[in-house]
Each structure stands twice: as C-alpha cells, then as structure tokens.
Amino acid sequence: MSAAADLEKKAYKLLKAQDVTDFIWGFNPSSVVEVQRHKLVIRAKVEDLKMDRMNGVGVSTHTLSFLGHLVSKTVYQLQPTRIEADKKKVVQNHLTYTHLNDPSPGEEVFIIGTVLHSQNGIHQLQFCVESDPKKNVIFGTGSSSIAAFPPKPSVTASSTRETVKEKNSRDGYSQTEAPTLLPSGHATSSSSAAPRPTATTSQPEPAKTPAATSLAVSSSQAGRPSILRRPGTNGSPAAKRRRVSFAENGGSEKKTYMIVGIRQRQTANSKEFEKMMKEMGVSPANVSIEALPVTRRRCFVVYFTATTPEECSKVDNFIENRRWHEFLNVVYLCSEESKPFVWKAMPIPTIIESLFLSQRMVQNPQEDHDLEAQLMDKQFLRLATSDASLKEEVLSGLNSKGKALFKKQIESHTPK
C-alpha cells in the first residue's frame, strides 16, 4: 500500500470514529478526496448532509461549522509527531466560523482542512467549506487552536524525598513556598500557619521563581470567590478555566455565539437581545434565530457573530461567569422565570444533548467535568440516556419536535 493510500485509509477511519456519519449520511472511503500531511479534503453531496435547519429545509451553518472543525482536527491527528495522549488530553479551543453562502440542492460541498504547526505547542487549524473549486464559491471559513498535553508524571516517595532535600538546600526565601490561590473557606492548615511575607519578599523576582505572578488577597476580598477557581456545585472547586483576550494577543478572530431563551422571534424588536448586546458592548453580525424545541412557549435561540478581537474577549468574559449545568438545564429553560443567557454557539441537537448531560450533573454533582469534555466523550451521553428516570424528566421538557429530534439524531447514534 502506497503512503498516500495509507493516509487516506487512516483519515477515513479517524473521521468515522468521530461520528462523521451523523452529519454526512453517505460518507464512504470515496468521500476522502485528498490527504497530505498538512491538508485533508473531503466532499459530500448536499442531499447527504444532515438537514437540521429548524426554520425551513436545508443545512444549518452549525453543521458546516462542525464538519469543518472535525476535518481540520483530523489533519492534526494524522501528524506523525502528534503526542499520543487520550482524548481528554487533547484540547481544541477558540473555535470560529464565518458563514458566507448557503449550498444549493444538487451541489457538492468540499471541506478543506489544514494545520499550521507552532513551536509553542499550540497549533493552528483552519478550514474552508466551498463548492466545486472550479466555481470558486466559498460557503464558509473557520479556524481553531489545538494542543495535546502528556499525562502528568506520578509522584513517588523517592522523588518526594529528593524534592524535600532540594528545598532544604536552598536559602531562606526559596524555602518558603509561593502562596496558592484558594477560594474563600478553603485555606489549609499549612497555608494559615505560613508566615506573612515581608515588604522585601512580597514582590519576588521573576528570575528566581515562577511564582512571580502570584497575587496577595486582601482581607476585603477574602469573601469574594476567585474568578480563576470558582467553587463547584458541591463545595469542591470547579474546573479551572483559562481566560483569553484576543485583543491582547493582537488576533483578528471572529467567533459565533448564541443567546438561549430569547422570547421574541424577531430580534429587531427584542429588547432582551438589545439589552444583552449593549451590556456586553457588542455590535452583532450574521444574526439568525431558531426555535428551541422545549415545552415553554416563545423560547428561541439567537446566533450572532462577534467581529472584532475586543468583542470576542468581552463575550468570552461574560460567559465565564456562567455554570453550564445550571443554565443549559431543561427545568430552568422551561421555567417562565428563566432569563436569557449567552454561550458558545451550538446546533440545536447539541443543545438537547447538553440538557441530558446537565441533568446528570445535577444528580451527580461530585463529577466535575466541563461541557466540552462531556460532549466529546459520548460515554457521558450514554450514561445519561440509559437512566430511565433522567431520560423521562428531560423528554418531558421537550415538545414534539424536540422529542423527534432526540429519537432520530441523538438516541439512534448514542453508543449502547
């Protein structure tokens, strides 16, 4: 088997393993058009794509976005130097998609994914969704970043003893550990017994220790939960989130978001939508709206694009204050008292999956996993849908369209 044929076979298997057939029903080996070390091209007829546009017939922008990100991620997975880590150690972030045109019935859609390696370990992925290259019609473009982290090395007793000896050999200042930021009420006995740093050591030199960025928490802020390490549902710390400001990095990124729970179908007349955009300081572009298939009347999802790095940073910081399992929850969304909230854009079927995952989190608060990790690992969804009482509770909050969508596009593709 030639090297090119071997790459095509690997690409086909990787795409199949990541449920590409949920979105391209006619996907087969001939769907893989071109494979190189840094490029992957697949094609599909429009009729073979999942028709998931809620208002009207056609392919949603979110299906095109998902396929683009999947193809570009697969290019990364084909790299011979890729770190062999489990899925939970591979992190794909900063997903963006800009939709330009809708594909027409009878057309072929080509999805081209590429990878650009970086020496800092965070690689850039890009993709383009277009028609036949001869027609030069682009449906949409997108990008993301991806990084793989090796498993943390286990700490043995011998290495611990060596670390203690090494600490004892340092000077007096180096023997004092850098303070660790903890949420209020979680101070340990060792941290409370540590001596208060003097004026000469409160600002450590960067060259001596990586703890130069440690912060001292004043007594007036002691009762305020840390934004970097918020308390979890059961009192245990929630997963640490990284705040990213594209404005500081000088990027030119566009990102798509959604507001869930808007009550007006027409966003032009929606005071809720206008108020939230004003609060975030965003001038939205590419605004579209879809009905959320829950039992509560007048419940819609508004999708919009933030077009500048500053706006992306503002919306990302706004999302950071939300705990997904409290808001993407069927009981909350069906309540007349619920308020609209903003989150990263997801297609309607993925929102429904999130409702099952959040309900399981309510029943198992000790499992501290973020939404992206649970959506990637289908075993979480399998556990949620296999629980009869949990399944009944979520389905009771979906209307007839939501139940049909769950049965056709989610339940039938969930591993047993």
Q: Concatenate the DSSP letters of all residues of 295-335 into one string.
A: SSSS-EEEEEEE-SHHHHHHHHHHHTT--HHHHS-HHHHHS
Q: What is the largest CA-CA distance in the chain?
A: 75
Q: What is the mean pLDDT of residues 52-60?
A: 71
CA dist., res. 302 & res. 300, Å (int): 6
Sign of the dihedral through C-alpha 394, 400, 404, 407: positive
Supply the mean pLDDT for the chain.
75
Q: What is the mean pLDDT of residues 227-235?
A: 41
| Range with lowest mean pLDDT among 141-155, 179-193, 332-346 | 179-193
Q: What is the mean pLDDT of residues 65-87?
A: 77
What does the pLDDT read at residue 303? 92
Grade residue 96 by pLDDT with cuts at 50, 70 and 90.
confident
Q: What is the mean pLDDT of residues 17-29?
A: 90
What does the pLDDT read at residue 1? 61
Listed in order, the ranges of the chain carrying CATH 3.10.129.10 are 3-148
CA dist., res. 269 & res. 274, Å (int): 8
Grade residue 152 by pLDDT with cuts at 50, 70 and 90.
low
CATH superfamily of 3-148: Hotdog Thioesterase (3.10.129.10)
**0.75 exceeded by pTM:** no
Q: Which ranges constitute the DSSP H helices of 49-90?
A: 61-77
Encode burial over 178-197: b for 16+ CB neighbours within 10 A, e otherwise: eeeeebeeeeeeeeeeeeeb
Q: Look up residue 258 and give its DSSP letter.
A: E
Listed in sequence order, the residues at least 6 apart from 369 whose beta carbon sits closer than 8 Å to its beta carbon are 239, 361, 380
Which residues are 98's β-sheet partners? Answer: 141
What does the pLDDT read at residue 366? 64
Better-predicted residue by pLDDT, 320 or 389: 389
What does the pLDDT read at residue 367? 67
CA dist., res. 268 & res. 271, Å (int): 8
